[in-house]
Amino acid sequence: MAQVEWFDDLTIGMRFRSPEVEITEADIKRFAAEFDPQPMHLDHEAAKETLFKGLAASGWHTAAIAMNLAIQARPFGPHPLIGAGVDGLRWTIPVRPNDRLHLVGEVMSLTPSKSKPQGIALVKWTMFNQNDEEVYTFTPIAIIPRRV
């Protein structure tokens, strides 16, 4: 993994990789009950009748797990992951109970601020499951301090 501390240490094309995490059926149902209580995320039988053809994680659950994995990948070293927003958020295939998920990130663009000692980095993150299928991708608009 690249050794990065400041915005200035990042280069286009630099890549990061997170550890792997497993998502359980209990996790899926608990998150859904609180934030996305729809049949495809709550109940096996009801989920079969939906577009998902079986129980699948809420996309927002996938997004929250991805945030945790991105933190663990430490793309900006000791600096926090702070975003003004996200571009290109896409859910490509359903995340299922017992999927093992990891993230790969790649630096797509770097824009130093003209007025502040910081810069905007766009890192495109892609989440893969245990079969190396792409399940989710997102590109946060991250703010990172410059070395001063």
Binding site for its own copies (CB under 8 A): 31, 34-40, 50-51, 58-61, 63-65, 67-68, 71, 80-91, 143
The least CB distance from residue 46 to its own copies, in Å, is: 11
Q: Which is nearer to its own copies, 12 or 82 (CB)?
A: 82
d(CA 86, CA 128): 19
Least Cα distance to 64 among 8, 128, 138 occurs for 138
Among 27, 2, 17, CA closest to 128: 17
Nearest distance from C-beta of residue 43 to its own copies, angstroms: 13
Q: How far is the CB of 131 from its own copies (least distance, A)?
A: 21
Nearer to its own copies, 13 or 92 (CB): 92
